[in-house]
Amino acid sequence: MPPDKIALALAESGWCLVRDYLSTSETAALRQECLETYAQGAFHPAGIGRGAAEVHTDIRGDRILWIDEANPGLALQKALAKLEALRLAINEHLFLGLFDAELHYAVYPPGAGYRRHLDRFQDDDRRTLTVILYLNENWAPADGGLLRFWPDDSDRRIQVVPTGGTLMTFLSERFWHEVTPAQRQRLSLTGWFRRR
Ligand code: OGA
Ligand code: MN
């Protein structure tokens, strides 16, 4: 799906799910870089809230590495360039004033999930659009780690299987979502396009 189409879908419903945003080989290369960085032990437990965030692994069990702290490999540079083009296309269509991107790798070890939440902080409204790019090989629904997403105010929810190459994006302040406990290691590049 080209960036313009994604922007139009966002204008219409506030969220967009894109299968095969990255090709199989692009995804494999980025997964490799993520796993190499993870093996170097640089990731840390993700916190809840802003600043000196508290770690509560029962609420949120992933381990993250902010991208500006990672050694940017070629696959990551390519993915970042693609997301940057998406940010600019969205700005042209939606006037969200997306100013920059704040991104991290996220690794959910087996057993980890993330309870139902909204992405925007109470004391900081810069996070505007959430982008999640999954990096997993051969993910089956039975592997858990599903993104449950409530697209409106009803009980209706959709479940996104975190298959590698899939991009999920949504307005950060609007949509409740959760990650069900993963049965195996679950990888993504996740972040936010922010306003000033
Ligand atoms: C998050 C989040 C969802 C996912 O990092 O805030 O909700 O599917 N991630 O990884
Ligand atoms: Mn979230």
Distance 176 CA to ligand 2 centre (A): 8
pTM, full prediction: 0.95
- Residue given tokens 């939440």 in the structure block: 117
pLDDT at 124: 80
Long-range contacts from 139-143, C-beta under 8 angstroms, 24+ separation:
139/163, 139/164, 139/186, 142/183, 143/182, 143/183, 143/184, 143/186
Cβ < 6 Å from ligand 1: which residues? 106, 114, 119, 132, 147, 162, 177, 179, 188, 190
Closest alpha carbon to 84 in 124, 118, 131: 131
pLDDT in tens, 160-173: 999 999 999 999 99
pLDDT in tens, 135-152: 999 999 999 999 999 999
* CB neighbour list of residue 97: distance below 8 Å, 6 or more residues apart: 91, 128, 195, 196
Whether residue 21 is predicted with pLDDT greater than 90 in this model: the reply is yes
**Domain 3-47+67-194, CATH class in plain words:** mainly beta
CB 17 within 8 A of CB 163: no
Q: What is the mean pLDDT of residues 67-92?
A: 93
Could you tell which of 21, 50, 119 is best to mutate to test the pocket of ligand 1, judged by most ligand atoms within 8 Å of the CB?
Answer: 119
Q: Which of 48-52, 92-96, 154-158 has the lowest mean pLDDT?
A: 48-52
Whether residue 133 is predicted with pLDDT greater than 90 in this model: the reply is yes
